[in-house]
Chain A
Amino acid sequence: MKEVFSLLIKDSGLLWQGILQTAYMVSVSMLLASLFGIPLGIGVVVSEEGNILENKAINLILSTFINITRSIPFIILMVALIPLTRIIVGTSIGTSAAVVSLTIGAVPFIGRIVEGALKEVDGGVIEAAQAMGANPWEIISKVLLPEALPSLVLGLTITAISLIGYSAIAGAIGAGGLGDIAIRYGYHRFQTDVMIKTVVLLVVIVQIIQNLGTYLARRLDHS
Protein backbone atom coordinates (compact mmCIF):
# COMPACT_ATOMS: atom_id res chain seq x y z
CA MET A 1 0.00 0.00 0.00
CA LYS A 2 2.73 2.37 1.06
CA GLU A 3 4.71 1.50 -2.05
CA VAL A 4 1.80 2.13 -4.34
CA PHE A 5 1.26 5.49 -2.69
CA SER A 6 4.87 6.52 -2.94
CA LEU A 7 4.88 5.50 -6.59
CA LEU A 8 1.87 7.64 -7.17
CA ILE A 9 3.29 10.77 -5.56
CA LYS A 10 6.74 10.25 -7.06
CA ASP A 11 7.59 13.03 -9.51
CA SER A 12 4.49 14.93 -8.42
CA GLY A 13 6.44 18.19 -8.31
CA LEU A 14 7.63 17.68 -11.85
CA LEU A 15 4.15 16.76 -13.07
CA TRP A 16 2.55 19.70 -11.32
CA GLN A 17 5.00 22.00 -13.04
CA GLY A 18 4.10 20.29 -16.33
CA ILE A 19 0.42 20.88 -15.71
CA LEU A 20 1.01 24.56 -15.01
CA GLN A 21 3.13 24.95 -18.11
CA THR A 22 0.58 23.22 -20.28
CA ALA A 23 -2.18 25.33 -18.77
CA TYR A 24 -0.16 28.48 -19.43
CA MET A 25 0.59 27.57 -23.04
CA VAL A 26 -2.93 26.49 -23.87
CA SER A 27 -4.73 29.35 -22.14
CA VAL A 28 -2.51 32.15 -23.46
CA SER A 29 -2.44 30.81 -27.01
CA MET A 30 -6.17 30.15 -26.84
CA LEU A 31 -6.78 33.74 -25.82
CA LEU A 32 -4.50 35.24 -28.44
CA ALA A 33 -5.72 32.91 -31.19
CA SER A 34 -9.36 33.79 -30.38
CA LEU A 35 -8.47 37.44 -30.59
CA PHE A 36 -7.44 36.96 -34.21
CA GLY A 37 -9.36 33.84 -35.15
CA ILE A 38 -12.85 35.03 -34.20
CA PRO A 39 -12.65 38.20 -36.33
CA LEU A 40 -11.14 36.08 -39.10
CA GLY A 41 -14.08 33.67 -39.01
CA ILE A 42 -16.58 36.54 -38.88
CA GLY A 43 -14.80 38.14 -41.84
CA VAL A 44 -15.05 34.99 -43.92
CA VAL A 45 -18.77 34.63 -43.23
CA VAL A 46 -19.93 38.21 -43.70
CA SER A 47 -17.85 38.76 -46.86
CA GLU A 48 -19.40 35.72 -48.50
CA GLU A 49 -21.60 36.14 -51.54
CA GLY A 50 -25.07 37.24 -50.51
CA ASN A 51 -24.07 37.99 -46.93
CA ILE A 52 -24.25 41.31 -45.12
CA LEU A 53 -20.85 42.64 -46.23
CA GLU A 54 -20.39 40.76 -49.46
CA ASN A 55 -16.87 41.23 -50.82
CA LYS A 56 -15.50 38.55 -53.11
CA ALA A 57 -11.88 39.71 -52.97
CA ILE A 58 -11.68 39.80 -49.17
CA ASN A 59 -13.51 36.49 -48.92
CA LEU A 60 -11.02 34.86 -51.29
CA ILE A 61 -8.03 36.27 -49.41
CA LEU A 62 -9.28 35.20 -45.95
CA SER A 63 -10.38 31.79 -47.15
CA THR A 64 -7.10 31.10 -48.90
CA PHE A 65 -5.16 32.24 -45.84
CA ILE A 66 -7.10 29.80 -43.67
CA ASN A 67 -6.66 26.94 -46.09
CA ILE A 68 -2.93 27.46 -46.54
CA THR A 69 -2.12 27.85 -42.86
CA ARG A 70 -4.31 24.90 -41.95
CA SER A 71 -2.62 22.61 -44.42
CA ILE A 72 0.85 23.14 -42.96
CA PRO A 73 1.64 20.36 -40.44
CA PHE A 74 2.05 21.85 -36.99
CA ILE A 75 5.58 20.54 -36.45
CA ILE A 76 6.73 22.19 -39.67
CA LEU A 77 4.92 25.41 -38.81
CA MET A 78 6.72 25.41 -35.47
CA VAL A 79 10.13 25.05 -37.06
CA ALA A 80 9.32 27.59 -39.74
CA LEU A 81 8.26 30.08 -37.10
CA ILE A 82 11.48 29.88 -35.11
CA PRO A 83 12.88 33.14 -36.54
CA LEU A 84 9.62 34.97 -35.88
CA THR A 85 9.45 33.50 -32.38
CA ARG A 86 12.95 34.80 -31.67
CA ILE A 87 11.88 38.29 -32.73
CA ILE A 88 8.75 38.23 -30.58
CA VAL A 89 9.85 36.55 -27.34
CA GLY A 90 13.63 36.66 -27.71
CA THR A 91 14.08 32.88 -27.63
CA SER A 92 12.85 29.87 -29.57
CA ILE A 93 12.83 27.55 -26.54
CA GLY A 94 10.39 27.38 -23.64
CA THR A 95 6.71 27.83 -23.01
CA SER A 96 6.48 31.43 -24.18
CA ALA A 97 8.17 30.50 -27.43
CA ALA A 98 5.65 27.70 -27.90
CA VAL A 99 2.81 30.13 -27.39
CA VAL A 100 3.78 31.95 -30.60
CA SER A 101 3.52 28.91 -32.84
CA LEU A 102 0.52 27.52 -30.97
CA THR A 103 -1.30 30.82 -31.45
CA ILE A 104 -0.47 31.07 -35.12
CA GLY A 105 -1.41 27.45 -35.66
CA ALA A 106 -4.74 27.92 -33.87
CA VAL A 107 -5.84 31.14 -35.58
CA PRO A 108 -7.00 29.50 -38.83
CA PHE A 109 -8.44 26.59 -36.85
CA ILE A 110 -10.59 28.97 -34.81
CA GLY A 111 -11.38 30.89 -37.99
CA ARG A 112 -12.95 27.79 -39.53
CA ILE A 113 -14.77 26.88 -36.34
CA VAL A 114 -16.25 30.35 -36.02
CA GLU A 115 -17.18 30.27 -39.71
CA GLY A 116 -19.02 26.97 -39.22
CA ALA A 117 -20.83 28.20 -36.11
CA LEU A 118 -21.94 31.47 -37.69
CA LYS A 119 -23.17 29.76 -40.82
CA GLU A 120 -25.58 27.75 -38.70
CA VAL A 121 -27.42 30.94 -37.74
CA ASP A 122 -30.81 31.00 -39.44
CA GLY A 123 -30.75 33.33 -42.43
CA GLY A 124 -34.30 34.40 -41.63
CA VAL A 125 -33.18 35.93 -38.33
CA ILE A 126 -30.52 37.95 -40.14
CA GLU A 127 -33.13 39.04 -42.64
CA ALA A 128 -35.43 40.10 -39.80
CA ALA A 129 -32.63 42.20 -38.30
CA GLN A 130 -32.00 43.81 -41.69
CA ALA A 131 -35.69 44.53 -42.04
CA MET A 132 -35.52 46.35 -38.70
CA GLY A 133 -32.76 48.59 -40.00
CA ALA A 134 -29.82 46.97 -38.20
CA ASN A 135 -26.40 47.82 -39.62
CA PRO A 136 -23.78 45.12 -40.30
CA TRP A 137 -22.01 45.69 -36.99
CA GLU A 138 -25.27 45.37 -35.07
CA ILE A 139 -26.08 42.19 -36.98
CA ILE A 140 -22.69 40.71 -36.08
CA SER A 141 -22.75 41.74 -32.42
CA LYS A 142 -26.45 41.36 -31.66
CA VAL A 143 -27.50 38.53 -33.95
CA LEU A 144 -24.68 36.38 -35.36
CA LEU A 145 -22.48 36.03 -32.28
CA PRO A 146 -25.20 35.62 -29.60
CA GLU A 147 -27.19 33.20 -31.77
CA ALA A 148 -24.09 31.14 -32.51
CA LEU A 149 -22.76 31.26 -28.95
CA PRO A 150 -23.51 27.64 -27.98
CA SER A 151 -21.81 26.32 -31.13
CA LEU A 152 -18.95 28.77 -30.64
CA VAL A 153 -18.38 27.48 -27.11
CA LEU A 154 -18.35 23.88 -28.34
CA GLY A 155 -16.01 24.82 -31.17
CA LEU A 156 -13.62 26.66 -28.89
CA THR A 157 -13.65 23.65 -26.57
CA ILE A 158 -12.48 21.50 -29.47
CA THR A 159 -9.79 24.07 -30.21
CA ALA A 160 -8.57 24.07 -26.60
CA ILE A 161 -8.34 20.29 -26.63
CA SER A 162 -6.48 20.32 -29.93
CA LEU A 163 -4.11 22.89 -28.45
CA ILE A 164 -3.30 20.50 -25.59
CA GLY A 165 -2.32 17.98 -28.23
CA TYR A 166 -0.29 20.55 -30.13
CA SER A 167 1.41 21.72 -26.96
CA ALA A 168 2.61 18.16 -26.45
CA ILE A 169 4.09 18.23 -29.95
CA ALA A 170 5.67 21.54 -29.08
CA GLY A 171 7.32 19.67 -26.23
CA ALA A 172 9.43 17.98 -28.88
CA ILE A 173 11.28 21.23 -29.50
CA GLY A 174 11.66 22.00 -25.82
CA ALA A 175 8.47 23.83 -25.05
CA GLY A 176 7.88 22.41 -21.59
CA GLY A 177 4.57 21.14 -20.29
CA LEU A 178 3.16 17.65 -19.90
CA GLY A 179 4.01 16.63 -23.46
CA ASP A 180 7.60 17.59 -22.91
CA ILE A 181 7.72 15.52 -19.72
CA ALA A 182 6.21 12.55 -21.47
CA ILE A 183 8.81 12.73 -24.22
CA ARG A 184 11.87 13.48 -22.12
CA TYR A 185 11.20 11.32 -19.07
CA GLY A 186 8.80 8.73 -20.32
CA TYR A 187 10.18 8.12 -23.78
CA HIS A 188 13.85 9.09 -23.76
CA ARG A 189 14.57 7.86 -20.22
CA PHE A 190 12.25 4.84 -20.34
CA GLN A 191 10.35 5.96 -17.21
CA THR A 192 7.12 4.23 -18.14
CA ASP A 193 5.42 5.31 -14.91
CA VAL A 194 5.98 8.99 -15.77
CA MET A 195 4.68 8.37 -19.27
CA ILE A 196 1.53 6.74 -17.92
CA LYS A 197 0.99 9.48 -15.36
CA THR A 198 1.28 12.26 -17.95
CA VAL A 199 -1.10 10.46 -20.26
CA VAL A 200 -3.61 9.95 -17.43
CA LEU A 201 -3.30 13.61 -16.47
CA LEU A 202 -3.87 14.67 -20.08
CA VAL A 203 -6.95 12.44 -20.30
CA VAL A 204 -8.31 13.98 -17.09
CA ILE A 205 -7.60 17.55 -18.27
CA VAL A 206 -9.24 16.91 -21.65
CA GLN A 207 -12.27 15.41 -19.89
CA ILE A 208 -12.60 18.40 -17.61
CA ILE A 209 -12.37 20.88 -20.48
CA GLN A 210 -14.80 18.94 -22.64
CA ASN A 211 -17.36 18.58 -19.85
CA LEU A 212 -17.05 22.23 -18.97
CA GLY A 213 -17.54 23.22 -22.61
CA THR A 214 -20.51 20.92 -23.06
CA TYR A 215 -22.11 22.17 -19.86
CA LEU A 216 -21.61 25.80 -20.79
CA ALA A 217 -22.94 25.29 -24.31
CA ARG A 218 -26.01 23.58 -22.95
CA ARG A 219 -26.62 26.37 -20.46
CA LEU A 220 -26.38 28.95 -23.25
CA ASP A 221 -28.58 27.07 -25.69
CA HIS A 222 -32.20 28.17 -25.55
CA SER A 223 -33.38 26.50 -28.74
Chain B
Amino acid sequence: MIKINNLTKIYQSKDKQVVAFDNINLDIGEGEIFGVIGPSGAGKSTLIRCLNLLEEPTAGEVIIDGQDITKLSTYKLREARKEMGMIFQRFNLLKSRTVADNVAFPLEIAGKTKREITIKVAELLELVGLADKANNYPSQLSGGQQQRVGIARALANDPKVLLCDEATSALDPETTHSILELLKKINDKLGITIVIITHEMEVIKEICTKVAVLDKGTIAEHGDVIDIFTNPQAEVTKRFIERVINANVPEELLSRVTVANPDKGRLVKVSFIGESAAKPMVSELVHNFAIDANILYGNIDKIQGTPFGTLIIELTCENPSIIEDGINYLVEELEVKVEVIENEGSVLSSN
Protein backbone atom coordinates (compact mmCIF):
# COMPACT_ATOMS: atom_id res chain seq x y z
CA MET B 1 0.00 0.00 0.00
CA ILE B 2 2.76 2.41 0.97
CA LYS B 3 6.29 1.87 -0.25
CA ILE B 4 9.03 4.19 0.89
CA ASN B 5 12.19 3.97 -1.18
CA ASN B 6 15.50 5.56 -0.16
CA LEU B 7 13.69 8.47 1.43
CA THR B 8 15.97 11.23 2.66
CA LYS B 9 15.20 14.60 4.17
CA ILE B 10 17.93 17.13 4.75
CA TYR B 11 17.23 20.62 6.04
CA GLN B 12 19.60 23.01 4.38
CA SER B 13 20.28 26.27 6.12
CA LYS B 14 22.93 28.78 5.15
CA ASP B 15 25.99 27.11 6.52
CA LYS B 16 24.90 23.77 7.86
CA GLN B 17 22.89 20.71 6.99
CA VAL B 18 20.55 18.98 9.37
CA VAL B 19 19.69 15.44 8.39
CA ALA B 20 16.17 14.58 9.56
CA PHE B 21 16.46 11.04 8.24
CA ASP B 22 18.58 9.30 5.72
CA ASN B 23 17.82 6.58 3.22
CA ILE B 24 14.67 5.13 4.76
CA ASN B 25 13.10 2.07 3.17
CA LEU B 26 9.76 0.74 4.39
CA ASP B 27 7.00 -1.37 3.00
CA ILE B 28 3.58 -0.95 4.57
CA GLY B 29 0.98 -3.50 3.55
CA GLU B 30 -2.70 -2.89 2.95
CA GLY B 31 -4.81 -3.00 6.10
CA GLU B 32 -1.79 -2.96 8.41
CA ILE B 33 -1.50 -0.82 11.47
CA PHE B 34 2.08 0.25 11.09
CA GLY B 35 3.82 1.99 13.96
CA VAL B 36 6.90 4.12 13.76
CA ILE B 37 8.44 4.71 17.15
CA GLY B 38 11.46 6.74 18.06
CA PRO B 39 12.76 9.18 20.63
CA SER B 40 12.00 12.85 20.01
CA GLY B 41 14.24 14.29 17.38
CA ALA B 42 14.51 10.96 15.58
CA GLY B 43 12.78 12.43 12.54
CA LYS B 44 9.50 10.58 12.82
CA SER B 45 7.20 13.59 12.46
CA THR B 46 9.11 14.68 9.38
CA LEU B 47 8.82 11.15 8.04
CA ILE B 48 5.02 11.01 8.33
CA ARG B 49 4.78 14.48 6.80
CA CYS B 50 6.68 13.19 3.81
CA LEU B 51 3.97 10.59 3.26
CA ASN B 52 1.49 13.25 2.19
CA LEU B 53 4.16 15.72 1.15
CA LEU B 54 3.43 18.31 3.81
CA GLU B 55 7.21 18.13 3.89
CA GLU B 56 9.02 17.65 0.65
CA PRO B 57 11.64 14.90 0.87
CA THR B 58 15.13 15.74 -0.39
CA ALA B 59 15.42 12.44 -2.20
CA GLY B 60 13.61 9.14 -2.60
CA GLU B 61 10.15 7.92 -3.49
CA VAL B 62 6.87 7.60 -1.63
CA ILE B 63 4.66 5.21 -3.54
CA ILE B 64 1.09 5.13 -2.34
CA ASP B 65 -1.25 2.70 -4.02
CA GLY B 66 1.13 2.37 -6.96
CA GLN B 67 1.59 6.09 -7.44
CA ASP B 68 4.79 7.97 -6.61
CA ILE B 69 3.40 11.06 -4.92
CA THR B 70 6.70 12.92 -4.95
CA LYS B 71 6.36 13.25 -8.72
CA LEU B 72 2.79 14.58 -8.80
CA SER B 73 1.82 18.07 -9.97
CA THR B 74 0.40 20.44 -7.36
CA TYR B 75 -3.14 19.74 -8.54
CA LYS B 76 -2.70 15.96 -8.67
CA LEU B 77 -1.08 16.04 -5.23
CA ARG B 78 -4.15 17.78 -3.79
CA GLU B 79 -6.33 15.10 -5.33
CA ALA B 80 -4.08 12.39 -3.88
CA ARG B 81 -4.26 14.01 -0.44
CA LYS B 82 -8.05 13.67 -0.49
CA GLU B 83 -7.47 9.91 -0.46
CA MET B 84 -5.41 10.15 2.72
CA GLY B 85 -6.64 11.13 6.15
CA MET B 86 -4.44 12.63 8.81
CA ILE B 87 -4.85 13.24 12.52
CA PHE B 88 -2.60 15.37 14.68
CA GLN B 89 -1.22 15.63 18.18
CA ARG B 90 -2.96 18.95 18.76
CA PHE B 91 -6.09 17.90 16.83
CA ASN B 92 -5.95 21.01 14.58
CA LEU B 93 -9.70 21.54 14.44
CA LEU B 94 -11.19 24.77 13.16
CA LYS B 95 -12.36 26.56 16.27
CA SER B 96 -14.75 28.73 14.28
CA ARG B 97 -16.69 25.68 13.11
CA THR B 98 -18.96 23.33 14.99
CA VAL B 99 -18.11 19.64 15.28
CA ALA B 100 -20.37 18.79 12.34
CA ASP B 101 -18.92 21.59 10.21
CA ASN B 102 -15.39 20.48 11.02
CA VAL B 103 -16.20 17.01 9.75
CA ALA B 104 -17.90 18.58 6.73
CA PHE B 105 -14.76 20.53 5.82
CA PRO B 106 -12.96 17.85 3.76
CA LEU B 107 -16.26 16.98 2.09
CA GLU B 108 -16.70 20.60 1.03
CA ILE B 109 -13.15 20.55 -0.32
CA ALA B 110 -13.99 17.40 -2.28
CA GLY B 111 -16.97 19.20 -3.81
CA LYS B 112 -19.73 17.05 -2.30
CA THR B 113 -23.31 18.31 -2.34
CA LYS B 114 -25.02 19.59 0.80
CA ARG B 115 -27.18 16.48 0.97
CA GLU B 116 -24.25 14.10 0.67
CA ILE B 117 -22.38 16.09 3.32
CA THR B 118 -25.24 15.97 5.82
CA ILE B 119 -25.63 12.22 5.46
CA LYS B 120 -21.90 11.47 5.62
CA VAL B 121 -21.28 13.76 8.62
CA ALA B 122 -24.04 12.08 10.61
CA GLU B 123 -22.64 8.67 9.73
CA LEU B 124 -19.10 9.64 10.77
CA LEU B 125 -20.16 11.22 14.05
CA GLU B 126 -22.07 8.06 14.81
CA LEU B 127 -18.94 6.01 14.08
CA VAL B 128 -16.77 8.02 16.48
CA GLY B 129 -19.52 8.23 19.11
CA LEU B 130 -20.11 11.97 19.02
CA ALA B 131 -23.53 12.18 17.39
CA ASP B 132 -24.83 14.23 20.32
CA LYS B 133 -22.04 16.81 20.01
CA ALA B 134 -22.68 17.78 16.38
CA ASN B 135 -23.53 21.39 17.19
CA ASN B 136 -20.87 21.97 19.83
CA TYR B 137 -17.71 23.90 19.18
CA PRO B 138 -14.33 22.18 19.64
CA SER B 139 -13.50 24.35 22.66
CA GLN B 140 -16.45 22.77 24.47
CA LEU B 141 -15.02 19.27 24.05
CA SER B 142 -12.39 17.31 25.96
CA GLY B 143 -9.12 16.35 24.31
CA GLY B 144 -10.30 12.83 23.58
CA GLN B 145 -13.52 14.10 22.04
CA GLN B 146 -11.60 16.57 19.92
CA GLN B 147 -9.40 13.77 18.63
CA ARG B 148 -12.54 11.81 17.78
CA VAL B 149 -13.69 14.76 15.70
CA GLY B 150 -10.24 14.74 14.09
CA ILE B 151 -10.66 11.06 13.26
CA ALA B 152 -14.15 11.58 11.83
CA ARG B 153 -12.79 14.43 9.73
CA ALA B 154 -9.86 12.34 8.52
CA LEU B 155 -12.21 9.56 7.43
CA ALA B 156 -14.66 11.82 5.63
CA ASN B 157 -13.52 11.10 2.09
CA ASP B 158 -13.13 7.35 2.66
CA PRO B 159 -9.34 7.40 2.54
CA LYS B 160 -7.25 4.30 1.97
CA VAL B 161 -4.60 5.52 4.37
CA LEU B 162 -4.86 7.19 7.77
CA LEU B 163 -1.77 8.98 9.04
CA CYS B 164 -1.57 9.54 12.80
CA ASP B 165 1.02 12.04 13.94
CA GLU B 166 1.48 11.55 17.70
CA ALA B 167 -2.30 11.33 17.82
CA THR B 168 -2.47 10.28 21.46
CA SER B 169 0.52 12.14 22.90
CA ALA B 170 -1.59 14.97 24.27
CA LEU B 171 -4.07 12.62 25.92
CA ASP B 172 -4.17 10.87 29.29
CA PRO B 173 -3.66 7.08 29.38
CA GLU B 174 -7.34 6.24 29.60
CA THR B 175 -8.31 8.50 26.71
CA THR B 176 -5.33 7.19 24.75
CA HIS B 177 -6.72 3.72 25.23
CA SER B 178 -10.19 4.68 23.98
CA ILE B 179 -8.76 6.47 20.93
CA LEU B 180 -6.62 3.43 20.11
CA GLU B 181 -9.68 1.21 20.45
CA LEU B 182 -11.47 3.46 17.99
CA LEU B 183 -8.57 3.29 15.53
CA LYS B 184 -8.55 -0.47 15.81
CA LYS B 185 -12.29 -0.60 15.21
CA ILE B 186 -11.89 1.57 12.13
CA ASN B 187 -9.09 -0.64 10.87
CA ASP B 188 -11.25 -3.75 11.33
CA LYS B 189 -14.39 -2.23 9.90
CA LEU B 190 -13.04 -0.24 6.99
CA GLY B 191 -9.82 -2.13 6.26
CA ILE B 192 -7.97 1.16 6.13
CA THR B 193 -4.16 1.18 6.36
CA ILE B 194 -3.04 3.12 9.42
CA VAL B 195 0.40 4.62 9.95
CA ILE B 196 1.09 5.71 13.51
CA ILE B 197 3.97 7.88 14.63
CA THR B 198 4.53 7.79 18.37
CA HIS B 199 7.07 7.87 21.15
CA GLU B 200 4.88 5.72 23.37
CA MET B 201 5.57 2.00 23.29
CA GLU B 202 2.12 1.36 24.79
CA VAL B 203 0.57 2.59 21.55
CA ILE B 204 2.65 0.16 19.51
CA LYS B 205 1.91 -2.65 21.93
CA GLU B 206 -1.78 -2.00 21.96
CA ILE B 207 -2.69 -1.77 18.29
CA CYS B 208 0.19 -2.02 15.85
CA THR B 209 0.85 -5.11 13.77
CA LYS B 210 4.18 -3.95 12.43
CA VAL B 211 6.67 -1.54 13.86
CA ALA B 212 9.74 0.33 12.71
CA VAL B 213 12.09 1.83 15.26
CA LEU B 214 13.53 5.11 14.10
CA ASP B 215 16.67 6.39 15.76
CA LYS B 216 18.94 9.25 14.71
CA GLY B 217 17.40 9.39 11.28
CA THR B 218 17.73 5.73 10.37
CA ILE B 219 15.63 2.64 10.95
CA ALA B 220 17.22 0.72 13.80
CA GLU B 221 15.00 -2.30 13.19
CA HIS B 222 11.56 -3.19 11.95
CA GLY B 223 9.25 -6.16 11.78
CA ASP B 224 6.24 -7.76 13.47
CA VAL B 225 5.48 -6.16 16.80
CA ILE B 226 5.54 -9.51 18.60
CA ASP B 227 9.04 -10.30 17.27
CA ILE B 228 10.38 -6.89 18.15
CA PHE B 229 8.96 -7.16 21.65
CA THR B 230 10.22 -10.63 22.35
CA ASN B 231 13.55 -10.33 20.65
CA PRO B 232 14.68 -6.74 20.34
CA GLN B 233 18.07 -6.22 18.73
CA ALA B 234 18.83 -2.53 18.82
CA GLU B 235 19.72 -0.69 22.02
CA VAL B 236 17.05 1.94 21.40
CA THR B 237 14.36 -0.72 21.02
CA LYS B 238 15.38 -2.34 24.29
CA ARG B 239 15.07 0.98 26.05
CA PHE B 240 11.58 1.49 24.66
CA ILE B 241 10.46 -1.99 25.65
CA GLU B 242 11.81 -1.61 29.16
CA ARG B 243 9.40 1.24 29.60
CA VAL B 244 6.36 -0.98 29.11
CA ILE B 245 7.75 -4.27 30.33
CA ASN B 246 9.85 -3.35 33.27
CA ALA B 247 11.77 -6.51 34.09
CA ASN B 248 14.41 -4.91 36.22
CA VAL B 249 14.91 -6.55 39.57
CA PRO B 250 15.42 -4.16 42.45
CA GLU B 251 19.11 -3.91 43.25
CA GLU B 252 18.76 -4.92 46.90
CA LEU B 253 17.14 -8.16 45.85
CA LEU B 254 19.77 -8.81 43.22
CA SER B 255 22.67 -8.45 45.60
CA ARG B 256 20.94 -10.70 48.09
CA VAL B 257 20.55 -13.44 45.51
CA THR B 258 24.00 -13.28 44.05
CA VAL B 259 25.79 -12.71 47.31
CA ALA B 260 23.90 -15.31 49.30
CA ASN B 261 24.22 -18.09 46.75
CA PRO B 262 27.45 -17.56 44.86
CA ASP B 263 27.74 -21.07 43.49
CA LYS B 264 24.49 -22.74 44.47
CA GLY B 265 22.10 -20.42 42.73
CA ARG B 266 21.32 -18.94 39.40
CA LEU B 267 19.17 -15.97 38.57
CA VAL B 268 17.37 -16.46 35.28
CA LYS B 269 15.05 -14.42 33.22
CA VAL B 270 12.49 -16.47 31.34
CA SER B 271 10.53 -15.01 28.44
CA PHE B 272 7.67 -16.90 26.92
CA ILE B 273 5.20 -16.26 24.13
CA GLY B 274 1.97 -17.83 23.05
CA GLU B 275 1.49 -21.52 23.89
CA SER B 276 4.44 -21.81 26.23
CA ALA B 277 2.96 -19.13 28.44
CA ALA B 278 0.37 -21.62 29.63
CA LYS B 279 2.84 -24.28 30.72
CA PRO B 280 3.46 -24.93 34.42
CA MET B 281 7.21 -24.49 34.21
CA VAL B 282 7.97 -23.54 37.79
CA SER B 283 6.27 -26.56 39.26
CA GLU B 284 7.96 -28.81 36.71
CA LEU B 285 11.33 -27.49 37.80
CA VAL B 286 10.49 -28.16 41.39
CA HIS B 287 9.06 -31.64 40.80
CA ASN B 288 11.34 -33.02 38.14
CA PHE B 289 14.63 -31.52 39.19
CA ALA B 290 14.23 -30.76 42.87
CA ILE B 291 15.30 -27.20 42.17
CA ASP B 292 13.97 -24.49 44.42
CA ALA B 293 12.42 -21.79 42.30
CA ASN B 294 11.81 -18.44 43.87
CA ILE B 295 9.88 -16.03 41.67
CA LEU B 296 11.23 -12.50 42.03
CA TYR B 297 9.34 -10.89 39.24
CA GLY B 298 6.53 -11.89 36.98
CA ASN B 299 4.60 -10.22 34.26
CA ILE B 300 2.23 -11.35 31.60
CA ASP B 301 1.02 -9.17 28.81
CA LYS B 302 -0.77 -9.42 25.53
CA ILE B 303 0.66 -8.18 22.26
CA GLN B 304 -1.64 -8.48 19.28
CA GLY B 305 -3.68 -11.05 21.18
CA THR B 306 -0.61 -13.21 21.86
CA PRO B 307 0.23 -13.77 25.51
CA PHE B 308 3.74 -12.64 26.26
CA GLY B 309 5.36 -12.98 29.66
CA THR B 310 8.51 -12.50 31.61
CA LEU B 311 9.59 -14.20 34.83
CA ILE B 312 12.68 -13.60 36.85
CA ILE B 313 13.38 -16.67 38.95
CA GLU B 314 16.03 -17.47 41.45
CA LEU B 315 16.98 -21.14 41.06
CA THR B 316 18.80 -22.82 43.89
CA CYS B 317 19.94 -26.39 44.33
CA GLU B 318 22.60 -28.30 46.25
CA ASN B 319 24.08 -29.49 42.98
CA PRO B 320 24.79 -26.70 40.44
CA SER B 321 24.77 -29.07 37.50
CA ILE B 322 21.12 -29.87 38.16
CA ILE B 323 20.35 -26.18 37.69
CA GLU B 324 21.97 -26.36 34.26
CA ASP B 325 19.82 -29.40 33.44
CA GLY B 326 16.74 -27.51 34.54
CA ILE B 327 17.59 -24.56 32.35
CA ASN B 328 18.18 -26.83 29.37
CA TYR B 329 14.84 -28.46 30.03
CA LEU B 330 13.10 -25.09 29.96
CA VAL B 331 14.74 -24.14 26.69
CA GLU B 332 14.35 -27.44 24.89
CA GLU B 333 11.13 -28.93 26.22
CA LEU B 334 9.08 -25.89 27.07
CA GLU B 335 10.54 -23.73 24.31
CA VAL B 336 10.93 -20.60 26.36
CA LYS B 337 13.75 -18.12 26.18
CA VAL B 338 16.09 -18.23 29.18
CA GLU B 339 18.78 -15.75 30.03
CA VAL B 340 21.09 -16.23 32.97
CA ILE B 341 21.61 -13.01 34.83
CA GLU B 342 25.19 -12.66 36.04
CA ASN B 343 25.12 -9.29 37.72
CA GLU B 344 23.11 -6.11 37.94
CA GLY B 345 24.54 -4.75 34.72
CA SER B 346 23.42 -7.68 32.65
CA VAL B 347 19.83 -7.35 33.85
CA LEU B 348 19.65 -3.82 32.66
CA SER B 349 21.08 -4.63 29.25
CA SER B 350 19.31 -7.93 28.72
CA ASN B 351 15.79 -8.20 27.50
Interface of A toward B, CB cutoff 8 Å? 122, 124-125, 127-135, 138, 142-143, 146-147, 149, 220, 222-223
Contact, CB under 8 Å: B79 / A147 = no
Interface residue from B81, B90, B110, B139 paired with A131 (Cβ < 8 Å): B81
Assembly CA distance A127 to B55 (angstroms): 10
Q: Which residue of chain B is the closest to A222 with respect to CB atoms?
A: B137
Q: Which residues of B223-255 have CB atoms within 8 Å of chain A's CB atoms?
A: none
Contact, CB under 8 Å: B108 / A133 = no
Contact, CB under 8 Å: A146 / B94 = yes
Known contacts A124-B88, A130-B81; A146 and B105 CB within 8 A of each other: no
| A to B CB contacts below 8 Å, 14 in the list | A122-B92, A124-B88, A129-B105, A131-B52, A131-B54, A131-B84, A132-B109, A133-B109, A135-B78, A142-B109, A146-B96, A147-B95, A222-B95, A222-B137
Provide the residues of chain B in CB contact with A138, threshold 8 Å: 109
Contact, CB under 8 Å: B97 / A133 = no
Contact, CB under 8 Å: B137 / A128 = no
Q: How far is the CB of A18 from chain B (nearest CB, A)?
A: 39
Provide the residues of chain B in CB contact with A223, threshold 8 Å: 95, 139
Interface residue from B84, B90, B96 paired with A124 (Cβ < 8 Å): B90
Assembly CA distance A128 to B92 (angstroms): 6
Q: How far is the CB of A51 from chain B (nearest CB, A)?
A: 13
Q: How far is the CB of A79 from chain B (nearest CB, A)?
A: 42
Q: Which residue of chain A is the closest to B81 with respect to CB atoms?
A: A133
Assembly CA distance A143 to B138 (angstroms): 15
- Confirm or deny: B191 has a beta carbon within 8 angstroms of a beta carbon on chain A: no
Assembly CA distance A37 to B82 (angstroms): 33
Provide the residues of chain A in CB contact with B139, threshold 8 Å: 222-223
Interface residue from A127, A133, A149, A220 paired with B92 (Cβ < 8 Å): A127
- Confirm or deny: B214 has a beta carbon within 8 angstroms of a beta carbon on chain A: no
- Confirm or deny: B106 has a beta carbon within 8 angstroms of a beta carbon on chain A: yes
Assembly CA distance A130 to B137 (angstroms): 22
Q: Which residue of chain A is the closest to B84 with respect to CB atoms?
A: A131
Known contacts A138-B109, A222-B137; A131 and B93 CB within 8 A of each other: no
Q: How far is the CB of B155 from chain A (nearest CB, A)?
A: 11
Known contacts A128-B88, A132-B109; A143 and B94 CB within 8 A of each other: yes
Known contacts A125-B93, A125-B94; A133 and B79 CB within 8 A of each other: yes
Q: How far is the CB of A56 from chain B (nearest CB, A)?
A: 16
- Confirm or deny: B125 has a beta carbon within 8 angstroms of a beta carbon on chain A: no
Assembly CA distance A122 to B84 (angstroms): 22
Q: Which residue of chain A is the closest to B163 with respect to CB atoms?
A: A131
- Confirm or deny: B273 has a beta carbon within 8 angstroms of a beta carbon on chain A: no
Contact, CB under 8 Å: A142 / B92 = no
Provide the residues of chain A in CB contact with B84, threshold 8 Å: 131
Top-10 shortest CB links A-B: A133-B81, A128-B92, A133-B82, A222-B137, A124-B92, A133-B78, A131-B86, A132-B106, A146-B96, A223-B95
Q: How far is the CB of A195 from chain B (nearest CB, A)?
A: 44
Q: How far is the CB of A173 from chain B (nearest CB, A)?
A: 42
Q: Which residues of B72-117 have CB atoms within 8 Å of chain A's CB atoms?
A: 78-82, 84, 86, 88, 90, 92-97, 105-106, 108-110
Q: Which residues of B108-163 have CB atoms within 8 Å of chain A's CB atoms?
A: 108-110, 137-139, 153, 157, 163
